[in-house]
Amino acid sequence: MKRPAQLLRTAVVGGVTLTLSLSLAACGNSGDSADGGSDKIHILVYGDAANKVEKQLVETFNKTSKVKAVLDTIPGADYQAKLQTIISGKQAPDVFFNWGGGSIKPYVDAGLLMPLDDFIAKDPGLESNFLPSVFNTAVVDGKPYGVPMRGTQPVLLFSNKKVLADAGVAAPRTWSELLTAVKTLKAKGVTPIALGGGDKWPTQMWFQYMYDRVAGPDLFQKAVGGDKSAWASPDSKKALGMLKELIDTGAFGSNYDSVKFTDGGSPALLATGKAAFELMGSWEYSTLQDAYPDFVKKDLGYGGFPTVEGGKGDPNNLAGNTNNYYSVLKNTEHPEAVAEFLKLMYSDEFVKAQLGIGNLPTTTNTPKFLNGSANPAYSTYQYELVKKAPAFQLSWDQAYPPAATTTIHQAVQQFFNGQMGADAFIAAMQTLPAA
């Protein structure tokens, strides 16, 4: 009976000692960072594989700068939530990753962000070295608030060439060709279009392109600016009607809401020939390259979204993630160091490093290095696409403020599964807060 009691006492005493010493150590640590905070800038980014490049740039920066940069990452899904909770407090970073548009609008409204006019006045390259359609996504209320810092990701229509050939279908250039192709493929027992409906944002991509092709980019710009009548316009109803027609022909099969892109479900459908098309961001290429290298080499096709006959949108218009951006907090103690850091975003080193991991930067010097990219043909195709696109529609859930995301995602899902008709969908979109 005595030994366990002693053991226990040892454990308890040990625990206390450990706790105390850790608390002390922690106090020591926080003391350090408080002192050291004055000559550091904190860079907060979305945590994923692309952090490799961000780390490299921070190291490059720290080699020459007296003020040192510290890179903090927040794992993917909760980035936005975490950012919102810390951005107005003492844990706020100096520079942070965002999607431009609505994702920074609330912070601009709260007076937390620094307009980059002064930086640009001192170094015009901070604006002129980027493709305008991309740079403009982070312009809020007429002022620039972000510098592009990763790659552009337009949404493309991917296809399985072998499946199309077997069914005798050509890659569709118009909406009616797509509808015909869907019917032919269905008759062959193939799911015409793979859709990761479980993630919801892949479903949203169909709306983005339908609205653009039918109504042109202006309708959404009006809507996101707060003009609720835009959603109820005839063009809006027409876009929804055409989409509904596509859904009702069984283009997406019946179990798409149980399929996700993020766990590899929908790309697998495309690569294994169970589906013929998938509408997806340009990252689809590297996803497939990792998992199905043979398929990418032989049978992967890609192209823009079909033209809608009689629609107002230019067939060259794009939708997707224009880029990611670095924005700067007004409270930063080292604006000069931050400006120096941002200049790295159009450096040769940055472009090469991004191309090296499969991202496509949107700087004007990018074409020089396209041959060194992992897939020169694909990169060049995309770069030309983005360069000549008259309009590049930012994904809806990023164009609106973050608070709108849940409503948008629920609405697109419920429109697809029939729980919402066109009128209910319009009503739901009209409840969204303006950006």
> Residues 91 to 110: which contact another protein by CB under 8 A?
91, 106-107, 110
Return d(Cα 303, Cα 154) in angstroms, integer: 11
CB of 403 to another protein, least distance (A): 4
Amino acid 282 reads: S
Q: Is 163 in the site for another protein (CB under 8 A)?
A: no
Sort strands 275-281 and 191-194 into parallel, antiparallel or unpaired. Answer: parallel
DSSP string, 287-334: HHHHH-HHHHHHTEEEEPPPBPTT-SS-TT-EEEE---EEEEBTT-S-
* Positions 35 through 64 that interact with another protein (CB under 8 A): 46-49
Q: Which amino acid is at 306?
A: P
Is 424 a binder of another protein (CB under 8 A)?
Answer: no
Selected range binding another protein among 205-213, 242-250, 253-261, 343-351, rule: CB under 8 A: 253-261
Comparing CB distances to another protein, the nearer of 92 and 120 is 92
Token duo for residue 12: 């308890």
Q: Is 414 in the site for another protein (CB under 8 A)?
A: yes
Under rule CB under 8 A, which residues in 390-409 are in contact with another protein? 402-403, 405-406
Both tokens of 228, joined, read 């609720």
How big is the site for another protein, counted in residues (CB under 8 A)? 78
Radius of gyration of the chain from Cα atoms? 25
CA distance 210 to 247: 13
Residue 187 within binding range of another protein, rule CB under 8 A: no
Nearest Cα neighbor of 276 from 152, 382, 177 is 177
- Are the C-beta atoms of residues 156 and 304 closer than 8 Å to each other? yes
**DSSP per residue over 255-279, as a string?**
-GGG-BTTTTHHHHHHHTTSEEEEE
Positive or negative: CA dihedral 172, 290, 412, 399:
negative
Regarding 262 and contact with another protein (CB under 8 A), the answer is yes
Query: Among residues 56, 60, 62, 88, which is the contact residue for another protein, using CB under 8 A?
Result: 88
Single residue of 10, 29, 371, 431 touching another protein by CB under 8 A: 29
**Which residue lies nearer to another protein by CB, 88 or 184?**
88
* Minimum gap (Å) between residue 433 Cβ and another protein: 9
Q: Select from 25-33, 166-174, 232-240, 361-369 the region that touches another protein (CB under 8 A).
A: 25-33
Give CA separation, 87 vs 29, 97, 106, in Å.
22, 12, 11
Cβ proximity to another protein, 102 vs 172, nearer residue? 102
CB of 193 to another protein, least distance (A): 14
Mark residues 188-227: x for contact with another protein by CB under 8 A, - for none: ---------xx-x---------------------------
Question: Which residues between 1 and 20 bind another protein (CB under 8 A)?
Answer: 1-2, 4-5, 8, 11-12, 14-16, 18-19
52 vs 143, beta carbon nearer another protein: 52
Q: Which is nearer to another protein, 12 or 165 (CB)?
A: 12
Q: Is 186 helix (H, G, I), strand (E, B) or coil?
A: helix
> Dihedral of the CA atoms 281, 285, 287, 289 (nearest 10)?
180
Interface mask toward another protein for 266-295; x: CB under 8 A: --xx-x--x------x-x---x--xxxx--
256 binds another protein (CB under 8 A): yes
Q: Which two tokens stand for residue 61?
A: 């920066």
Give the DSSP per-residue string, 150-185.
S--EEEEEEEEHHHHHHHT-PPP-BHHHHHHHHHHH
Residue closer to another protein, measured from CB, 63 or 90: 90
Chain Cα centroid distance, residue 160: 24
Residue 136 within binding range of another protein, rule CB under 8 A = no
